[in-house]
Amino acid sequence: MGWGKRSILSAAVTVVCAVTVLGAPGTAFADPAPTPSASPTPRPSKDLEQVREKLDKLYHDAAVATDAYNAAEEKTKQQSAAIVALAKKIDQGQQRLAGLRNQAGAAAREQYRTGGVPPTAQFLLSDDPGQVLDGAGLVLQGQRATTSLIGELADTQKQLQDYADEAAEQWKKLDAERKAKAAAKKKIQQQISAAEKLESELEKKDKERLARLEEQAALAAQTKWLDTGILKKVHGAASAQGEKAVTFATDQLGKPYVWGAEGPESYDCSGLTSQAWAAAGHPIPRTSQEQWKQLKHVDIKDMRPGDLIIYFDDASHVAMYVGDGAIIHAPRPGRTVTVAGAGSMPILGVVRPDA
């Protein structure tokens, strides 16, 4: 044994490429000849194919709900951080308001101490008009300072009210995202439970045949993709950050898929890609849909290792391209992070995190 994960990756990529020969046009995919047995009659292949399609739909719907859950989770983090920041601003504003009120109180006490006599009256009644004139200048400065103080008090109070209104709005959004998370979580659990129930109803031999059908479907899709000649056009070399992202993804091989997980022990599809690029020093959006929306799109023929391939029309799945027509991805519940053919699922497009 003694193989490192790099060697495992190289071997797996070699297998992905080699199976193209097995999947060449004219190759038949058939179940092994049945052997006599006293066990229950196996399901017809047509029935198993329907089961496979139904499972694909259930897990696809779970993936869509997982993306919705992850998006809501990201928003709740952002809104919680915004509320904390606003709370700090409100606290600082309240301290400033208290200081301004103390200044206003001191000014009022000083006016009371001098009797509040107008400067003109002080001038007429004083034995030393020059001193009064000097004092009048100070009074004028004091009046200007008081006006400024009153304005600052009003501005601070308005600012505090604005912060409070914004905090209230963020709380409403936070509550809405928590409800969205709960709804998405419920749907995920429903879809996965339905898929697990469907699989549990199969006999052992039917489960084995179903697994072969899934492998054959993926191989047929990969073969069809490679038969276009696309791989002859793909020669891009990974960037320095892309190499780091691929290394991270490679190190996660064999870890289980768990919806909503971002590692280090388990991942969902976008949890794996987002953490791989974070490890490469280039944070990207958390969900596959946001990765598709926000990252730069590149042509398939221009893709290079480290780029992300987005799958299905709704961008509900993402994988990392690692070269030689292969990807690393976290497939679905019940599976582990693995190497697969880049064309084994319907490709929506390719994005480059470090463009």
Rounded (to 5) percent helix, strand, coil in the chain:
65, 10, 25
Q: Which strands form 296-298's sheet, in the order they lie side by side?
A: 296-298, 347-352, 308-311, 317-323, 326-329, 338-341
Q: Hey, what are 345's tokens? A: 């699922």
Q: Is 269 a catalytic residue?
A: yes
Exposure letters 264-287 (e unless 16+ CB within 10 A, then b): eebbbbbbbbbbbbbbbebebbbb
Q: Is 60 a catalytic residue?
A: no
Q: Is 235 a catalytic residue?
A: no
* CA dihedral for 168, 169, 174, 177, sign (positive or negative): positive
d(CA 88, CA 128): 53
Residue 278 near residue 213, CB atoms below 8 Å: no
| 319: Cα within 13 Å, side-chain hemisphere | 26
Of 299, 293, 277, residue with least CA distance to 353: 277
Phi and psi at 117, nearest 5°, equal: -75, 130
Catalytic residue among 17, 60, 269, 282: 269
SS3 state at 323: strand
Catalytic residue among 60, 282, 297, 317: 317
Which residues does the annotation mark as catalytic?
A: 269, 317, 329
